[in-house]
Amino acid sequence: MQLASATTESLTSRYARDGFVVLEGVLDRPEIDGLLAEAVAICRGERGPIEGAQAAGVRPDDTDDEVLRRFLCVHYPHKLSQLMRDTISHPAIVDPLTQVIGPNVKAMQSMLFIKSEGRPGQAWHQDEGFIPTRDRSLTAAWIALDDATTENGCLWVVPGSHRPGVLYPDREHDDPRYDCTVESYGFPWSEEDAVPVEIAAGSVLLFNGYLLHKSLPNSGRHGCRRALVGHYMSAESLLPWAAPEPGVGMARADFRDIVLVSGRDPYGWKGTDEVRRPRVRPDRAGGCDR
């Protein structure tokens, strides 16, 4: 299969057909280096506390490399770092987001993957299964901070799997290749339908919240496979994500721990909330908490 970025078709028609597009060369070398240094500062705890980080056991005399290797993924880095926050609002990412979502776009999540050699991937899943927008507008921007390859655990996608608009069931699993996150199953595609998305550092994979995707472990010998991921949706849709307050049904619940990255927020009158705190993602090696 030819990767979408190699065609001359419009971004929106490629995205509609495949459920993803690659944006090449979004960040330049100095921007990438700045983010890599910021990742070290975050993992050292220099940008504020991270829930679960104590178990990682960072020591003051650890080298930068040793610090990084203690983490698989830090959730919500944009709450710790202005640089991470500015990056998820980067104009070269927000402009294509407005093309596939619409003029008013909000972000509700970010994740900083470190994933050094031997660390697991994440099993097949659809992001909307975790972050349920009401209008199916969930879109991820997966920003490569290292060259992402099959060897170091790049993303794999099933092109077109977003099109039925179906969320497949998920379940716990014990597959040592993947972290503790549940896996999707029962979908009408096989491993042969999946394609790896190898992209260079500084490039971005934009993909639909219904697209089936996964990553394999970093089996490489070339260091970390770092990536910053932002999750976005239309500002017009409520987001019934966090547990509703007493007396509010899920249908009216609205997660307001958001950052508006484009246009206007029709629910701006509600203000924003601090619902989630930065936390580490458990690695299978630490045991899956069931």
Ligand X SMILES: O=C(O)CCC(=O)C(=O)O
Residue 122 found at the interface with ligand X (CB under 6 A) = yes
> Given the complex with ligand X, which of 79 and 214 has the nearer CB atom?
214
Choose, by CB under 6 A, the member of 20, 142, 168, 255 that binds ligand X.
142
Rounded least distance, CB 242 to ligand X, Å: 19
Could you give the 3-state DSSP secondary structure of residue 91? helix
Rounded least distance, CB 129 to ligand X, Å: 10
> Given the complex with ligand X, which of 81 and 110 has the nearer CB atom?
110
Rounded least distance, CB 170 to ligand X, Å: 13
Choose, by CB under 6 A, the member of 43, 227, 235, 280 that binds ligand X.
227
Residue 107 found at the interface with ligand X (CB under 6 A) = no
Q: Are residues 274 and 264 in contact, defined by beta-carbon separation less than 8 angstroms? A: no
Could you give the 3-state DSSP secondary structure of residue 75? strand
Q: Are residues 102 and 176 in contact, defined by beta-carbon separation less than 8 angstroms? A: no
> Given the complex with ligand X, which of 156 and 255 has the nearer CB atom?
156
Choose, by CB under 6 A, the member of 15, 20, 71, 113 that binds ligand X.
113
Choose, by CB under 6 A, the member of 47, 213, 256, 284 that binds ligand X.
213
> Given the complex with ligand X, which of 139 and 215 has the nearer CB atom?
215
Q: How many angstroms separate the CA atoms of 112 and 158, rounded?
A: 23
Residue 26 found at the interface with ligand X (CB under 6 A) = no
Count residues near ligand X (CB under 6 A). Answer: 12
Q: How many angstroms separate the CA atoms of 231 and 225, rounded?
A: 19
CA 59 to chain CA mean position, Å: 28
- Residue 23 to residues 138, 205, 283, Cα–Cα distance (Å): 18, 6, 30
Residue 215 found at the interface with ligand X (CB under 6 A) = yes
Residue 101 found at the interface with ligand X (CB under 6 A) = no
> Given the complex with ligand X, which of 244 and 276 has the nearer CB atom?
276
Rg of the chain in Å (alpha carbons): 18
Choose, by CB under 6 A, the member of 19, 96, 121, 159 that binds ligand X.
121
Rounded least distance, CB 266 to ligand X, Å: 27
SS3 content of the chain, % helix, strand, coil (to 5): 25, 20, 55
Rounded least distance, CB 258 to ligand X, Å: 18
Backbone angles phi, psi at 285, to 5 degrees: -60, -30
Q: Are residues 221 and 207 in contact, defined by beta-carbon separation less than 8 angstroms? A: no
Q: Are residues 140 and 230 in contact, defined by beta-carbon separation less than 8 angstroms? A: yes
105-113 and 227-234 beta bridge pairing: antiparallel
Residue 152 found at the interface with ligand X (CB under 6 A) = no
Residue 133 found at the interface with ligand X (CB under 6 A) = no
Q: Which stretch binds ligand X (CB under 6 A): 8-16, 119-127, 264-272, 276-284?
A: 119-127
- CA quadruple 203, 195, 231, 174: dihedral sign: negative
What does the binding site for ligand X look like in residue numbers (CB under 6 A)?
113, 121-122, 127, 140, 142, 153, 155, 213, 215, 227, 229
